[in-house]
Amino acid sequence: MEIQLLFKIAAIGILVAVLHQVLCRAGRDDQAMMVALSGIVIVLAMVVKEISNLFHTVKTLFNL
């Protein structure tokens, strides 16, 4: 139960959104796409850890 993780993901999302907007306005659409992609990969790495935690809990609880 770490609410910090939720805020971290939200902060990364806002940062990526702002960078995406700035780079789009500057006419660098390819770099904007790359920024969005890297943000998604970073957050996905965090989310996967949490999901594996959930699956581990389910496995031990229901002895799957």
Partner 1 sequence: MEITKIIGIALVGVCTSLFLKQYQPEFAIFISLVCGCMILVYVFHKLSFIVNLLKSLASRIDLNEDFLVILLKATGIAYVTEFACNTCRDAGETAIASKVELAGRVLIASMAIPIITTLVEMMQKLIPASN
Q: Phi first, then psi: what are they for 31, rounded to 5°?
A: -70, -35
CA 20 to chain centroid: 15
Q: Which of 3, 25, 27, 30 binds partner 1 (CB under 8 A)?
A: 3
Residue 32: both structure tokens together: 């904007």
Residue 9: both structure tokens together: 């993901």
CB of 7 to partner 1, least distance (A): 8
Which residues of the shown chain bind partner 1 in the complex (CB under 8 A)? 1-3, 5-7, 9-10, 12-14, 16-17, 20-21, 36, 39-40, 43-44, 46-47, 50-51, 53-55, 57-59, 61-64
